[in-house]
Structure 1
Amino acid sequence: MTSHLTSYRRQWFTDGPTARRDILAGVVVALALIPEAIGFSIIAGVDPRVGLYASVAIAMTIALIGGRPGMISAATAAVAVLVVPLVREHGVDYLFAATILMGLIQMIAGLLRLDLVMQFVSRSVITGFVNALAILIFMAQLPQLTNVGWQTYAMVAGGLVIIYGFPRITKAIPSPLVAILVLSAISISMGLPVNTVGDMGKLPEGLPSLALPNVPLTLDTLRIILPYSLTMAAVGLLESLLTAQIVDDMTDTDSNKRVECAGQGGSNIVAALCGGMGGCAMIGQSVINVTSGGRGRLSTFVAGAFLLFLLAVLGPFVGRVPMPALVAVMIMVSIGTFSWNSIPNLRRHPATSSVVMLTTVIVVVATHDLSLGVLAGVLLSGIFFAGKVQRMFAVERDETADGAQAIYRVTGEIFFASVDRFTRAFQSEGTATRVVIDVTGAHFWDISAVGALDKIVARLRRDGREVEVVGYNRASADIVDRFALHDKTGVEMGLAPHR
């Protein structure tokens, strides 16, 4: 317990330079969250304050109870697109109720250690996920770059020059923050005809207040919100865990995925009670935070707290921030997020890995659904893996000089995908009257493998041959003793034969 508290304290209270970088990074993220939250609110069909208040509540809460310091969570498009029918048919209060249930489900997922499911997501899927998100982030900026004047393009280009050039002068202040401030000053002082944050939607005034959703506590309400809550919880956890892994890689640190699952749940409950929609981790804003120097919980908390300050105190000024400045920041995020090494690796890596990565990218970009893309990648990875492993076995046949005994030496993995080839290897037995099947170098994984062995033994015995199976390892012996139909002799340590 003491070590956990010490680690938690270290994630908050760091030295002066690190704390300053966390604070400045949080300020940059807060500014970048505003147009995103408004846009996601529009997608969901709710008032902009629903997305903005959600971003405030989620960011501040996850900083306290999350498992990945430095990662930014807020209202997201991945969750917003899921609730459109719920809001349209039942109203915003049912959205709040569904978000509370979503949070409870995520907390239960944390207790059940469902974060371990991430072990089945291959590196190719994660690379595809990252590349697809980078493409989607860039595509999301295109509406701000079409049917606009030359001033917009000039400001975006100027913003990119500042973002990539200012670190050559000093890294004490995040270059995205400098770009936003400089371009805002130029736009406001010169009255340039460019889109502003205020054009995205009306900014809320005042602070959010705590309130329970105004819905009846009945089974009918549960029946309405449960399907949405389950889907939001699954998509939110999937995106959060993948983003946490990416931040782990970027910072070369570990995170507590189980705590992150529960923290996401708690954050969504707080967001709903504050009149906000559901959310999850945001890879774009997390990349902004990390590249701006944010590493600790303080950066995430400042992002939420400064966003609240902007909305409550500086709303009119924030509304005048030019969108080209934020577009430049998001283009930087897109460029920094994309795994450029994955392009030459298409030729260097195995073809199956490249196919999995490209499939994940194509499905995500085509559907704008991160969960579908990751699901497609995981399923394809599983199919390729099963196909690879099912070929990793061999059966060799030897006969005694007199031809009376045949010995089959089986090596490799026997499971549902390899049982066909395993069975076919015993088609030609010759004239031997006694058959020994040596499985010392093999492993039987499932009941399909045991069933195949039963089938082989039964057929050989029907042909009048004496059959002996020897050499089971302990795990194979256990599953054979439990499920095999041929004689069970209580194999121990794989040494006793089955006759």
Structure 2
Amino acid sequence: MKWTGRFEGYTLAALQKDLISGVIVGIIAIPLGMAFAIASGVKPEYGIYTTIAAGILISLLGGSKYQIGGPTGAFIPILFAIVMQYGYDNLLIAGVMAGILLVLMGMLKLGVLIKFIPRPVTIGFTTGIAVTIFSGQIANFLGLTHLEKHQDFLPNMKEILVHLGTMNFYSILTASISLVVILLTPRFLPKVPGSLIGLVISTLVAALFFKDQVATIGSSFGAIPSTLPHLYIPEVTWDRISHLIQPAFVIAMLGGIESLLSAVVADGMTGSRHNSNRELIGQGIANIITPLFGGIPATGAIARTATNIKNGAVSPFSGVIHGVVVLLVLILFAPFASVIPLASMAPILMIVAWNMSERKEFAHVLKTRTSDSIVMAITFLLTVFTNLTTAVEVGLLLAVLLFVKRMSQILSVAKVLPDPASEKVRPHMVTEGHDCPQLNIFTIEGPLFFGAANLFEKSIMDTIHLRSRILLLRLAGVPFLDTTGEANLSSLVQHFNKEGGIVLISGIQQQPMEFLKRTGLYDKVGAQHFFEHTGEAINYALQQLDNNKCLGCKHFAFRECASLSTGEHHQDTINKLNTGNTDQHTLSPV
């Protein structure tokens, strides 16, 4: 196992720690696996199969030492919608396709890109998913019957309201017992999984005191088989693949985000560092194989991963052990699962939804009242009232558009002249009666990209003197230049060259300089027209002036202008400029 690089120096003591953490996490995973499967619209055993297969494969092949994989709450709305629209067989195909996409993303080293999804979008759809999960368990909590399932939130809420008259007191009692036990267990028995204790106690109460009065897994889905799942390959056609590309992509993206977030949490708790691309490949392989045994899509589970670490896990073996524990429970105790009331499982998912809702972060972003608040709120509402695909697409598009708008507002273009008092160039020095007709100096600050490049060109063209001979652009404050920005800069250069003028550039940063060299604009401007400091560029520019036009000029933009305007010591001034023997423009190096 040394090929993974995560088992070097593995000892018997480490195995003991992994064994303890693996058993604990495996016990916790059993009720969650069944609950997630039922909420996703499939049989509970499929959640167990997913926990076993994906849990073992993700731990062995992933890029995090502590990651626990399996079915998660985040997938519930997506998987439920796919089952409702396409059916269970197509869900398996979409899962395999998503796995292939994840492997490709890992091989193409795209793991780092997923981390750049804006936080408001993540908070928005995560909170929306939490609302969907929570509301989806109201019917089981109340014991409502004869409800018709829908893909959308509002029709499902309408079904609950219409069927409130079918409330079952025994279901409410069972769910309440489970909820109270789940909430109290961490306080009195912090080392014991509350979801399992709540499930067991509420099931025993229902079985002993009001048997057959509440819906159970057995009465709703049939008995859970105690045998291993058989290899099952659904019929794959091109028509099915084409219809499932979009849901498969959503599963892959959400799976990638969820798994890498979980890995980051694990890194923070342990001081380790995961391999994001290997994690995607491991997640992908798990999602390719798991559906072949009837399992649903899986990803890294943040809560179970954190529990794994808190209980002393030291290697991926804990994740493997967790899968083996679930397998043994399936073989030995599957018949007993049939008597578990659905009402007992409803609080488990409600607590999961509450914990994943990111309510504090949601409220914090809302209070900022910025464009991020808008992106988050719209993503949240679309997740709840439409679907996750639409929500993420619109959320990302809005985030990009608002980012472009903000970045375009950052760009500033200011006409400047030297300020003798500070030995720097300042915008306030430019006035109607104090501006050189032949030399225009502009300070540009901010990225010159497609969202702001037009503003850059327009600001300069609207401001420059019509007979200006020289344009000096101070680009020290431009960190980035794209093709559109280069095109607008090129347009300025062509305009001045056509009119017999020249463009000088000072203080240009590395990225814009390299880009100009690649596009050929560097050669068009001329290497001799690039300067490190503004003072050097001004000295060069003054040498290029038409001195005859300086005679009689009253603007006095530069110290040399007094001599050039009157013609006094005219040749002296020219000689000093030509030899560089003038202290006029010892400006700050910007």
Instruction: Kindly report which structure 2 residues correspond to 1:63-102, keeping only aligned pairs within 5 A, or say none.
Output: 63-68=59-64, 69-74=66-71, 76-77=75-76, 78-79=78-79, 81-82=81-82, 87=87, 92=89, 99-102=95-98
Mean CA deviation greater in 99-108 or 162-171: 99-108
AA paired with 1:471? Answer: G
Pick aligned residue for 1:456 from 492, 508, 516? 492
TM superposition shift of 1:417: 0.3
User: Are residues 1:235 and 2:250 paired?
Assistant: yes
Query: Is the partner of 2:463 in helix, strand or coil?
Result: coil
TM superposition shift of 1:394: 1.6
The structure number with the bigger radius of gyration is 2
Query: Is the partner of 1:129 in helix, strand or coil?
Result: helix
Equivalent pair of 2:41/2:83 in contact (CA under 8 Å): no
Q: What is aligned with 2:197?
A: 178
Equivalent pair of 1:128/1:361 in contact (CA under 8 Å): yes
Q: What do residues 40-69 of structure 1 show as CA deviations (whole Å, max 9, x unaligned)?
A: 354xxxx77656534432233223223343
AA paired with 2:69? Answer: I
| TM-aligned CA distance change 1:393 to 1:81, over 3 Å | same
| TM-aligned CA distance change 1:229 to 1:8, over 3 Å | farther
AA paired with 1:366? Answer: F
Pick aligned residue for 2:177 from 134, 158, 183? 158
Pick aligned residue for 2:463 from 404, 423, 428? 428
AA paired with 1:155? Answer: T
AA paired with 1:446? Answer: D
User: Are residues 1:116 and 2:112 paired?
Assistant: yes
AA paired with 2:344? Answer: A
For residues 402 and 31 of structure 1, the distance between their equivalents in structure 2, rounded to whole angstroms, comes to 79
TM superposition shift of 1:124: 1.8
Q: What is aligned with 2:407?
A: 389
Q: What is aligned with 1:103?
A: 99
For residues 31 and 12 of structure 2, the distance between their equivalents in structure 1, rounded to whole angstroms, comes to 22
Pick aligned residue for 1:403 from 397, 415, 437? 437
For residues 249 and 258 of structure 2, the distance between their equivalents in structure 1, rounded to whole angstroms, comes to 14
Pick aligned residue for 1:362 from 378, 381, 388? 381
| TM-aligned CA distance change 1:299 to 1:41, over 3 Å | farther
Unaligned runs of 5+ in 2: 145-166, 418-433, 542-590
Q: What is aligned with 2:58?
A: 62
Q: What is aligned with 1:481?
A: 517
User: Are residues 1:327 and 2:346 paired?
Assistant: yes
Query: Is the partner of 1:121 in helix, strand or coil?
Result: coil
Equivalent pair of 1:125/1:360 in contact (CA under 8 Å): yes
User: Are residues 1:272 and 2:291 paired?
Assistant: yes
Higher relative contact order (CA 8 A, sep 6+): 1
AA paired with 1:418? Answer: A
Equivalent pair of 2:99/2:252 in contact (CA under 8 Å): no
AA paired with 1:326? Answer: M
For residues 290 and 149 of structure 1, the distance between their equivalents in structure 2, rounded to whole angstroms, comes to 36
For residues 492 and 23 of structure 1, the distance between their equivalents in structure 2, rounded to whole angstroms, comes to 72
| TM-aligned CA distance change 1:40 to 1:302, over 3 Å | farther
| TM-aligned CA distance change 1:142 to 1:304, over 3 Å | farther
Query: Is the partner of 2:524 in helix, strand or coil?
Result: coil
Please give the TM-score of this superposition, normalised by the length of structure 1: 0.83
AA paired with 1:29? Answer: A
Unaligned runs of 5+ in 1: 216-220
User: Are residues 1:287 and 2:303 paired?
Assistant: yes
For residues 172 and 528 of structure 2, the distance between their equivalents in structure 1, rounded to whole angstroms, comes to 75
Equivalent pair of 2:291/2:297 in contact (CA under 8 Å): no
For residues 39 and 435 of structure 2, the distance between their equivalents in structure 1, rounded to whole angstroms, comes to 80
For residues 350 and 335 of structure 1, the distance between their equivalents in structure 2, rounded to whole angstroms, comes to 24
CA RMSD of aligned residues (A): 3.6
Q: Percent identity?
A: 18
TM superposition shift of 1:407: 1.2
Equivalent pair of 2:52/2:327 in contact (CA under 8 Å): yes
Q: What do residues 323-343 of structure 1 show as CA deviations (whole Å, max 9, x unaligned)?
A: 222111212212222223235
Equivalent pair of 1:194/1:322 in contact (CA under 8 Å): yes
| TM-aligned CA distance change 1:390 to 1:154, over 3 Å | same
Q: What do residues 346-393 of structure 1 show as CA deviations (whole Å, max 9, x unaligned)?
A: 454351121122122112112232x43233222222222211111222
Aligned length: 482
Pick aligned residue for 1:194 from 197, 214, 230? 214
Pick aligned residue for 1:419 from 418, 430, 453? 453
| TM-aligned CA distance change 1:386 to 1:59, over 3 Å | same
AA paired with 1:341? Answer: K
Query: Is the partner of 2:173 in helix, strand or coil?
Result: helix
Equivalent pair of 1:458/1:486 in contact (CA under 8 Å): no
TM superposition shift of 1:290: 3.9
Pick aligned residue for 2:233 from 213, 218, 235? 213
For residues 124 and 300 of structure 1, the distance between their equivalents in structure 2, rounded to whole angstroms, comes to 31
Mean CA deviation greater in 358-367 or 464-473: 464-473
Mean CA deviation greater in 408-417 or 103-112: 103-112
AA paired with 1:144? Answer: N
For residues 238 and 529 of structure 2, the distance between their equivalents in structure 1, rounded to whole angstroms, comes to 52
Q: What is aligned with 1:336?
A: 355
Q: What is aligned with 1:244?
A: 259
TM superposition shift of 1:149: 1.5
Equivalent pair of 2:123/2:362 in contact (CA under 8 Å): no
Query: Is the partner of 1:438 in helix, strand or coil?
Result: strand
For residues 134 and 13 of structure 1, the distance between their equivalents in structure 2, rounded to whole angstroms, comes to 39
| TM-aligned CA distance change 1:392 to 1:298, over 3 Å | same
Equivalent pair of 1:236/1:281 in contact (CA under 8 Å): no
AA paired with 2:216? Answer: T
| TM-aligned CA distance change 1:419 to 1:489, over 3 Å | closer
Query: Is the partner of 2:446 in helix, strand or coil?
Result: strand
Q: What is aligned with 1:28?
A: 28
TM superposition shift of 1:453: 0.9
Q: What do residues 55-113 of structure 1 show as CA deviations (whole Å, max 9, x unaligned)?
A: 4322332232233434332385424644666658xxx4x76566545433322221111
Equivalent pair of 1:79/1:235 in contact (CA under 8 Å): no
Mean CA deviation greater in 193-202 or 453-462: 453-462
Please give the TM-score of this superposition, normalised by the length of structure 2: 0.71
Query: Is the partner of 2:137 in helix, strand or coil?
Result: helix
Equivalent pair of 2:493/2:502 in contact (CA under 8 Å): no
| TM-aligned CA distance change 1:410 to 1:291, over 3 Å | same
TM superposition shift of 1:232: 5.0
Query: Is the partner of 1:403 in helix, strand or coil?
Result: coil
| TM-aligned CA distance change 1:408 to 1:449, over 3 Å | same
